[in-house]
Structure 1
């Protein structure tokens, strides 16, 4: 028994329509779920948090012996820190600024400038977080085979 093109076309059209109806029905059921918006918001926040965490080191760490690479890394961390602080993400902003301070050759001067330009509460948060950030950078550089930071560079 051979199916005609018309019958085959109708069968394919009917199957497509049923599949589309199935998709619409379950999409409506999903949207009616009282926890849908809460779950969606949590998933988006988690994705944003993971994206922020993946940028925490601002990409791969530069070679400590390459002065230009260190300078680019320093400037990138300052810029990211300022952007995140302006956006209201204090924790990530302080993390980036802490990394900039940790790789800076003139730590005391940079801390003095930051103290004058930042609100006191954020500056104190930076000071509290600085040892943790410095240790994480040191561990990351050691694990990547790079040279470690000098003790006088991290205070």
Structure 2
């Protein structure tokens, strides 16, 4: 005598079988990867490269474009906004805020950009950005600003 399975039971069994196959596939290839004679060396190199990239990115001084070259400023602006958004999405708030600050520093209308960023960023991230702005770039607390303050005297 043959019994029929309900569609829900059949679907549950099929999902269980698929899940088991996927899990087995992952375990098999993870085991193969760990058996590779160069696995530990590659892992150390990858971690070292990531550590250097994250530490090096924070310490590197940003080279701002010539403010008279409109195309270079526009390219730099777009690059910094994109990089800042990518870093924020990846969870790297410090570097993401630094790059967005660079974009604000070269922006022709920084108040408009700040209003857009205030609406799109999380409040704590926007607050961090506003705190860093006085020390950013050619219009911030850089040497250009010092020269202007000295000229006023």
Shorter-chain TM band: 0.5 to 0.7
CA offsets, 1:24-67, max 9 Å, x none? xxxxxxx8xxxxx9x9898455412233236662xx32111111
> Where does residue 19 of structure 1 map in the other structure?
none
- What does 1:108-127 correspond to in 2, within 5 Å? 108-127=111-130
CA distance, structure 2, for counterparts of residue 134 and residue 116 of structure 1: 23
Within 5 A, what are the aligned runs for 1:27-106?
A: 43-44=48-49, 46-53=51-58, 57=62, 60-106=63-109
Question: What is the CA-CA distance between 1:133 and the residue it aligns to?
Answer: 1.9
Q: Following TM superposition, where does structure 1 have runs of at least 4 consecutive aligned residues deviating by more than 4 angstroms?
A: 39-45, 135-138
Listed one character per residue, the Cα deviations across residues 77-123 of structure 1 (whole Å, up to 9, x for unaligned) are 10000010011100000000001011111011000000011111110
TM-score by structure 1 length? 0.56
1:138-149 equivalent positions in 2, closer than 5 A: 139=142, 142=143, 148=144
Secondary structure at the residue paired with 2:116?
helix
Q: Is the 8 A contact 2:105 2:139 kept in 1?
A: no
| Structure 2 unaligned regions, length at least 5 | 1-39, 149-153
Q: Distance in 1 between matches of 2:68 and 2:129?
A: 26
1:126/1:132 Cα in 2 relative to 1: closer, same or farther (>3 Å)? same
Question: What are the ranges of 5 or more consecutive residues in structure 1 without an aligned counterpart?
Answer: 1-30, 32-36, 143-147
SS of residue in 2 equivalent to 1:50: helix
What is the distance in 2 between the residues matched to 1:76 and 1:44?
A: 23
